[in-house]
Chains A and B, each alone.
Chain A
Amino acid sequence: MTSTPHLLADEVTVGYGRQVVLDRVTVRIDRGETVGLRGPSGCGKSTLVRVLALLHQPDQGRVSIDGTAVSAVRYAVPVALRTRVAALFQSPRAAADPRLSLTDLIAEPLRATRTPEAAVRERVTELADLVGLTADLRSRRPHAVSDGQLQRACLARALVHRPDYLLCDEATAMLDASTQAHVAAVIRDYQLAQQAGVLVISHDQTLLERWSDRIVDLAGTAPART
């Protein structure tokens, strides 16, 4: 292995009850590359994303970020480490707090880490511009915007801490072609500017080929090659 900083799922095994969802899976995402993850439905792609996003503790194996092993999940992970990885999921409505305006939705992770309010406002404006949310849209709550607009807000939120790694789990599956291309373009630009590592999961083979630098197969519960 080279010394490029990377996000690594190392021999990760996850089971629910008696069912093994991931069986000693190893996937590595280098900074500066976009990896497409492909596999049949039910092969554990989404579980792998949750493990890499530090949302789910694997039964065996481990996740490491730039060589540092992480043995906790969620808020038990130190902020400096936790904010290195962000994830964007398929359904923005399921992910977004309906009581928050889009501005507050984007700002929330910054406020949670006690960022000064002036800096919060500056960063939120910068990101809302980046994802193309107009001032009018920013003041609205999720029910008053379209799925595409809400997903763009969720993308801004995911980028708010300038993560080194971004995981996209079918993040454009429910978007129309134009919004999908827009979201992908924003992520691509961010990835290049930040030299971030990006993982893209999609059922759409054409999208994966267009978007990824390389594609990894996650076949059933068998160990995946990287």
Chain B
Amino acid sequence: MTEVKAVEIKAKLIPIYIMGKKYEVPETLTIMKAIEYAGYRYIRGCGCRGGVCGACSTVYRKPGSYKIMSGLACQTVVEPDMYLTQIPFYPAIRSTYNFEELTGKPEEVFDLYQELFRCVACNACSKVCPMDVEVMDYISALKRGDIKAAAEISFDCIQCGLCASRCMGELPQYHIAQLARRINGRYLTPQAEHLKTMVANIESGRYQESLTGLKVMDINMLKETYTARELEPATGGEDWTPKENIGL
């Protein structure tokens, strides 16, 4: 088992301070594995173990520096004498809304999140973001009414909540960003025409006969059909079309 093996390997032990208390842990471990190595058992503060769920946000300081550092426990490797705590949850208010009724106007975002304008542009949020998202920039974009820019800037947000924990203006930044991304996806980006056409074609039963044909086909014949199917070349462009139009 990976998680266990990492420990078996003879790595040098270094001291880290978990919530102020000293533990000696192998220097090659991530903070998450180091905390487990120290004897803790996760219920909160651990989700994907792969850097995408935002369950394990961690803040720490290093000796001799005033700086607050941050990282994901599952992705950050321990350093000697780091002082750390995980922040598995931070309260933040989310507004509910009827998504179907939105239209993509900036005022809708302003109405749902009036606290946007409490931002004092201190940039503490961007500094603490473990995903290097320019949080203040997406908040500023929203204040300007540029929802698209906010959606793009915030794309890598994993909703860990650290920005909200540091915010002078008490904003729930990541909830606002989520709203921006949904509005962008639905109302500010052209919808896919080919998708609409395909859904309509399926509903009209266009492919049902050929598909049923495959379903009832004997297995050897199915295997042959599979092997003989024309493969779109890896380097082909968007407009590539197959030679024959069976099944289309």
- A, B bound: no
Residues of B within 8 A of A (CB): none
Residues of A within 8 A of B (CB): none
